[in-house]
């Protein structure tokens, strides 16, 4: 992978940073955040402005270009990838390391006195604007909105914003109708005494209306906003997709409905002016609810006194707790996904020794097997198919320049998942197709111990996920090892593979307490730069736990793995496991054998079934 040469682009950007055509006064720095106008993690090609200007296309990163410097902040998952993709014009700011300055501190250290720092107000979330603006102001600088996106002005071949057809989801998938979701939302609005709710996140719009799209790769969402009043529903969406009779029927656009369920469809681009009109028409005490991560531009449309901002919206919280239909769908999706992976791993065991399977071929094969399953829609993220040293690049995606051939001498890490109409999957398995070294087995076993410690943890109702993070690290810490990423993220139901408001991370963020029905990933790892990467990831469902006692009647929770794919026992040093851990592995494999075995049988996939049986042989500890 050779880095993108950005000298000319940076020169052009620095020119428009001074051009009166775009800025009232010259700006001395320009911030290029990662997201789009909806603060999405995965974005459409037209929104990949940070990748365009820097070459770094990981899912998280913020670029800042000043007159002299260009710097990129990203986290531990992307240190190696960013270093590979960026040329010498760029300084890599490794977030999470002790000596890495924050964006604010760095700006203050490099800017000349009284500088102006520009940013697209549609892209920067209001909470980030506030923090950045305050820090800059206290050092004598100003954060200013630049309404025309400066990257777009120099991006001559910028692709069009996508506008693909919609999918309607019926009750058998969603469990709750969109009308009932609106009723529940309005009741939350009444509780907080707000009159309007602005839906800005794409997955929240999709969830609320039981619609899905394909405007953004991997995430079944579509570009739209919604503004929900106590008696009105406005949906801001472009294109002729609203002419689709199925969509019109689903949304009851052509029927006579009670006025409070009548959906007004408006152009996507009219959200700002409509919201400004809402803002202008408010009487005292009439409040408008927005996420504090909504864009600065939309937030500013509502006068400050009328804003009600929360870190998580009621939709985000309701969406995280899956109902019975969604949970059953997720189970079905994970069974199908496991069938595809059993086929893949069986195939790899045969093919890898021949020396003809590359990372790209393996990834394509995984997609092929998944696409054979019912209700398959697309992948849920770019497959991480990595062998040997590539495994240490945490969010690696094989490209021809880096494509490595799988062999019996290297560890292979596959982190992959799919969108099925009934659910979203995300699973990582680390395999060796020859004989792993004692050290590789040792590291794998520590990671497994961490995975089990989270998966089997019992904790009180109301516990926040971040309190479980150290369980995943304890075995690694004991021998001086660690990994530089969080342990788990929320997973959507045929929606984004990463979703809030819960997670498992050492970073203290405002996570909501875990509750039964939430779904998160459990994915500790260990990475040695230049050598190998290990990660073991299951998607797990939060369920009530039976405990001997029940302190203060609070009740307890634990996790049930939805992912049912064998964990390669060849990689386990059984003598490093406790009996309890050993039992966990055996119970897990027994369940894989029963549930996935039955489905492989049903689908007539006998060879993969034989592989599954062999891979789920019970472990036993030397006494």
**Who contacts 598 (Cβ-Cβ below 8 Å, separation ≥6)?**
none
Residue in this structure with the two tokens 């206290």, named with its chain if needed: 138
Nearer to its own copies, 80 or 166 (CB): 80
**Who contacts 180 (Cβ-Cβ below 8 Å, separation ≥6)?**
none
- Assess contact for 385 and 342: CB atoms under 8 A: no
CB of residue 463 vs its own copies: minimum separation in angstroms?
8
- Assess contact for 206 and 221: CB atoms under 8 A: yes
CB of residue 482 vs its own copies: minimum separation in angstroms?
5
The continuous run of DSSP H or E covering 518 comes out as: none
CB of residue 507 vs its own copies: minimum separation in angstroms?
10
Q: Where on the phi/psi map is residue 517: left (φ > 0), alpha (ψ -120 to 50), or beta?
A: left
Residue in this structure with the two tokens 């914003």, named with its chain if needed: 161
- Assess contact for 94 and 42: CB atoms under 8 A: no
Nearer to its own copies, 470 or 569 (CB): 470
Nearer to its own copies, 176 or 467 (CB): 467
CB of residue 556 vs its own copies: minimum separation in angstroms?
5
67-75 — which CB contacts under 8 Å span 24+ positions?
67/14, 67/17, 67/28, 67/29, 68/110, 69/110, 70/6, 70/10, 71/106, 73/100, 73/103, 75/484, 75/485
Nearer to its own copies, 337 or 581 (CB): 581
The site for its own copies (CB under 8 A) is made up of 98, 138, 305, 457-460, 462, 466-471, 474, 476-482, 506, 508, 545, 547-552, 554, 556, 578
Nearer to its own copies, 339 or 476 (CB): 476
CB of residue 481 vs its own copies: minimum separation in angstroms?
5
Nearer to its own copies, 343 or 469 (CB): 469
Cβ-in-10-Å burial (0-12, 13-18, 19+) of 546 comes to: exposed
CB of residue 323 vs its own copies: minimum separation in angstroms?
22
Nearer to its own copies, 144 or 481 (CB): 481
CB of residue 268 vs its own copies: minimum separation in angstroms?
31
DSSP E strand stretches across 8-74: 29-32, 62-66, 70-74
Nearer to its own copies, 411 or 565 (CB): 411
Nearer to its own copies, 21 or 98 (CB): 98
Nearer to its own copies, 426 or 511 (CB): 511
How far does the chain reach from its first CA to its final CA, in angstroms? 49
Q: Which is it for strands 307-310 and 288-291: parallel, antiparallel or unpaired?
A: parallel
- Assess contact for 566 and 427: CB atoms under 8 A: no
CB of residue 487 vs its own copies: minimum separation in angstroms?
12
- Assess contact for 79 and 66: CB atoms under 8 A: no
| Stated length of the chain | 623
18-24 — which CB contacts under 8 Å span 24+ positions?
22/146, 22/148, 22/150, 22/153, 23/116, 23/118, 23/144, 23/146, 24/144
Nearer to its own copies, 203 or 522 (CB): 522
CB of residue 508 vs its own copies: minimum separation in angstroms?
4
- Assess contact for 266 and 274: CB atoms under 8 A: yes
The continuous run of DSSP H or E covering 532 comes out as: strand 532-535
CB of residue 96 vs its own copies: minimum separation in angstroms?
10
Q: Which is it for strands 532-535 and 538-545: parallel, antiparallel or unpaired?
A: unpaired
CB of residue 442 vs its own copies: minimum separation in angstroms?
9
Nearer to its own copies, 79 or 611 (CB): 79
CB of residue 532 vs its own copies: minimum separation in angstroms?
14
């Amino acid at each position: 992978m050779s880095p993108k040469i950005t000298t000319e682009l940076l020169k052009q950007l620095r020119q428009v940073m001074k051009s009166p055509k775009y800025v009232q006064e010259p700006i001395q720095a320009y911030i290029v955040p990662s997201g789009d106008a909806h603060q999405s993690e995965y974005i459409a090609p037209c929104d990949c402005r940070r990748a365009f200007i820097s070459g770094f296309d990981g899912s998280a990163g913020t670029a800042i270009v000043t007159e002299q410097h260009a710097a990129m902040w990203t986290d531990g998952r992307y240190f190696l990838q960013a270093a590979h993709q960026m040329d010498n014009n760029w300084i890599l700011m490794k977030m999470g390391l002790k000596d890495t300055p924050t964006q604010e501190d760095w700006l203050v250290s490099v800017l000349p006195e009284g500088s102006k720092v520009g940013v697209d107000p549609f892209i920067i979330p209001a909470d980030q604007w506030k923090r950045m603006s305050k820090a800059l102001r206290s050092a004598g600088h100003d954060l200013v909105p630049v309404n025309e996106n400066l990257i777009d002005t120099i991006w001559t071949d910028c692709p069009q914003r996508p506008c693909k057809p919609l999918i309607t989801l019926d009750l058998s998938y969603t469990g709750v109708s969109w009308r009932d979701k609106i009723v529940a939302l309005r009741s939350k609005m009444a509780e907080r005494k707000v009159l309007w709710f602005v839906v800005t996140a794409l997955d929240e719009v999709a969830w609320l209306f039981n619609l899905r799209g394909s405007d953004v790769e991997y995430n079944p969402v579509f570009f739209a906003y919604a503004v929900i009043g106590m008696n009105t529903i406005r949906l801001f969406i472009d294109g002729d997709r609203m002419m689709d009779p199925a969509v019109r029927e689903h949304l009851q656009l052509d029927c006579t409905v009670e006025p409070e369920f009548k959906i007004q469809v408006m152009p996507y681009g009219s959200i700002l002016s409509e919201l400004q009109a809402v803002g202008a028409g408010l009487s005292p005490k009439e409040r408008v609810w927005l996420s504090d991560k909504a864009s600065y531009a939309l937030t500013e449309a509502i006068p400050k006194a009328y804003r009600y901002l929360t870190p998580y919206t009621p939709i985000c919280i309701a969406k995280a707790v899956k109902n019975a239909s969604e949970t059953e769908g997720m189970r079905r999706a994970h069974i199908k996904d496991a069938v595809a992976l059993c086929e893949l791993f069986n195939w790899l065991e045969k093919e890898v020794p021949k020396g003809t399977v590359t990372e790209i071929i393996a990834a394509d094969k995984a997609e092929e097997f998944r696409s054979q399953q019912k209700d398959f829609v697309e992948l849920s993220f770019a497959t991480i198919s990595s062998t040997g040293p590539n495994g240490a690049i945490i969010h690696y995606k094989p490209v021809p320049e880096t494509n490595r051939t799988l062999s019996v001498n290297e560890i292979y890490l596959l982190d992959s998942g799919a969108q099925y109409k009934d659910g979203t999957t995300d699973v990582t398995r680390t395999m060796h197709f020859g004989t792993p070294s004692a050290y590789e087995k040792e590291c794998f076993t520590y990671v497994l111990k961490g995975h089990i410690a989270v998966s089997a943890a019992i904790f009180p109702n109301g516990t926040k996920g971040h309190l479980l993070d150290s369980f995943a690290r304890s075995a690694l810490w004991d021998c001086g090892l660690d990994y530089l990423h969080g342990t788990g993220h929320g997973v959507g139901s045929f929606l984004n593979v990463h979703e809030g408001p819960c997670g498992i991370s050492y970073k203290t963020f405002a996570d909501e307490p875990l509750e039964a029905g939430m779904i998160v990933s459990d994915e500790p790892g260990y990475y040695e730069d230049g050598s190998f990467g290990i990660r073991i990831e299951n998607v797990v469902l939060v369920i009530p736990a039976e405990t001997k006692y029940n302190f203060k009647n609070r009740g307890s929770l634990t996790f049930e793995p939805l992912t049912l794919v064998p964990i390669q026992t060849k990689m386990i040093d059984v003598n490093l496991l406790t009996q309890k851990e050993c039992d966990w592995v055996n119970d897990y494999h027994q369940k894989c054998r029963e549930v996935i075995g039955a489905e492989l049988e049903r689908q007539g996939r006998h060879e993969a079934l034989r592989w599954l049986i062999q891979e789920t042989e019970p472990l036993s500890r030397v006494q």
